[in-house]
Homo-oligomer: A and B are copies of this chain.
Amino acid sequence: MTDRREFRDLASGEELAATIDSLELEAGTERASLENARGRVLAERITAEIDVPGFDRAAMDGYAVKAGDTVDAGEASPVDLETVGTLHAGENPTESIEAGEAIEISTGAVLPPGADAVVVVEATSERDGSVAIRDAVTPGENVMPAGADVAAGRRVLGPKTRLTPREIGLLSAIGCDAVTVRKPPTVGIISTGDELVRPDDTLDSAPGQIHDVNSYTIAAAVEEAGGRSRVYPHVGDDEGSIANTLTQAANECDLVLSSGSTSASTMDVIYRVIEQRGELLLHGTAVKPGKPTIVGQFEDAAYIGLPGYPVSALTIFRVFVAPAIRAAAGLPERRTATVEADMATRARFEEGRRRFLPVALVEDGDGRTLAYPVDKGSGATTTLVDADGVVDVDAQTAYLDPDESVTVELFSADAAIPSLLGAGEGDSHLWDLLDQLDRPRYLAEGSRTGVRLLEDGVTDVAVIAGPIEAPAESVVLDSWEREWGLAVPTGNPDDVTGLDDLIDGDLLVATVDSQWGLAGSFDAAIDELANSRDEAQATLQRSLRTIETRSFESPARRVVAGDADAGVTLAETAADLDVTFVSLGTERVEIVAAADRLEKAGVRTLRDRLASE
């Protein structure tokens, strides 16, 4: 690794923003028809070429009259006028009115020659060939004169105006059926890495393939920021193909974004391609996440290299790149939506870098908004949806204390705080329950995580299974039993009927992390077997050949994949996966709520739902 270069002189967030700001991303203008103009940004001044209305227009249903004829009219002293016709909207007035005459007129119709006002129908009574006018009108009353709405020559909209339905209405009124608008910047997206596979292709885990998360995520984020995204075929780590794809994208786009392959390692080819064949403006930032960010120029396009991890890529995109795309598209700055919250738990920071800490929000029983850090480690994609926003923590801050007040920048301005926050077991009955709630958040990370987060005052409810005990300060809302046992290959080739067979048959058994109730139920059954055999429990455990998995469905999946002879499982999982099931008993599942959250709206809704079942 002699070629490895350290990131020296990491740029500050301000320098990164300024460098991105210096890029030329604007894409010029284009024409848009009125039907397709919504949301676009005007690039020209619009001047009315016609008067609106183009004629003196009846503003009410009623009778067109000479105002002078109505001077003496009143409720008690109606004035009779001879009716000499009827005029609907869209009709050409064929006769004018003389003194003493009136024409019945509809809203929107042309005021006939000779008339100068309209008496509303409610102030009239029709008689045979005449109309009784019960209200005096002044000249111009209930008439919209030609050009009174928009006069020809008026500057009606200026450049930079965003076209909402209201502007589209005004453009319609003046007969403007196409406008010159800002063309959104075209943003090319390139994911690099030999290990990446598109979401619609099947993974091979043996060589460590993973799905390409960044391409579609960043494409969606580009569109959200007002750009046009163009996703290029994913390229491997080969310098030639990276250079070719970069060249094509640079020729077709205003900005090219890549993700991954941007560190100064010899393996990270894109960095070298930009350094050698393009122009490197900035490499490395002191912002966390985001260290290996690159800003540069390649051929005629601007180039930004985002970090490879999805959360890092999206954070850098959102904070630094999206504002530049919005500006180039002519959109106003994104309305920053922030929420003030108190930290639910402590967050520590190891190093002196400005950090965007992903946090999620929850309301406690008193309606106070709490923020808790969400970080399942580098590269976790669940952080994307388990968090609601970030806290911008400066480089000098080494930790945030519980109850410390923080400002959370929400990922979406219209993001709502989850109505209910739970953590614990996975269970099909629970999934059905969650589907019926509005905006629940549930972290299916096992019973022990459920207990811990409830005890820490983070979650509203925990779902706990097997022998794991609920926290002291909790209230059981519901409980049920579920069957557990062993998944074995279809047809049960090893004739497994119980735990004895696992030990005596020297079978490879997939077990599960002690997080899960299932692990507790399995251990308890081993204990029982040890007692019945009069052997030490530890001896029995040692004589089992096991591979431990992370989650409650994983053991059965190992059996399906042919990687284990048997696996600890729930009956429902075995049924879902269509694998043979050997029952070993039942375990209890409990939904418990934090005692001080019982009256919270989301918990009440859950209780009502459970009560109605």
Contact = CB atoms under 8 A, between A and B. Distances in A.
Nearest to A6: B122
A371 to B, nearest CB: 17
A144 B92 contact: no
Interface in A336-388: 376-382, 384-385
B126 A1 contact: yes
B166 A54 contact: no
A414 B335 contact: yes
Nearest to A206: B92
Interface stretch (A394-402, A431-439, A535-543): A431-439
Contacts of A151: 444, 550-554
B199 A172 contact: yes
A220 B168 contact: yes
A367 B123 CA distance: 46
Contacts of A110: 205-208
A129 interface: no
A439 to B, nearest CB: 7
A237 interface: yes
B90 A209 contact: yes
A314 B384 contact: no
A167 interface: yes
Nearest to A432: B45
A520 interface: no
Interface in A563-580: 573
Chain A contact-residue range equals: 35 or more
Interface in A121-167: 121, 126, 144-160, 164-167
Given A38-B220, A88-B267, A194-B90, A551 B147 contact: yes
Contact residues of A: prevailing secondary structure: loop
- This chain's copy number in the assembly: 2
Interface in A456-484: none
A145 B57 contact: no
A34 interface: yes
B385 A335 contact: no
Interface stretch (A101-109, A493-501, A591-599): A101-109
Contacts of A196: 90
A442 interface: yes
12 contacts: A38-B220, A45-B431, A90-B193, A107-B308, A146-B550, A147-B551, A148-B377, A149-B380, A149-B381, A151-B444, A160-B438, A173-B381
Interface of A: 1-2, 4, 34-35, 37-38, 45, 47, 50-55, 57, 59-61, 88-92, 104, 106-110, 121, 126, 144-160, 164-177, 193-196, 198-203, 205-221, 223-224, 231, 236-237, 263, 265, 267, 308, 310, 314, 332, 335, 376-382, 384-385, 411-414, 416, 426, 431, 434-435, 438-440, 442, 444, 549-554, 557, 573
Closest 4 CB pairs of A and B: A151-B551, A153-B553, A90-B194, A54-B205
Given A54-B210, A147-B550, 17 more contacts: A2-B126, A35-B219, A51-B554, A55-B208, A59-B379, A89-B195, A90-B196, A91-B207, A109-B195, A144-B379, A144-B380, A151-B553, A153-B551, A153-B553, A158-B434, A165-B314, A169-B310
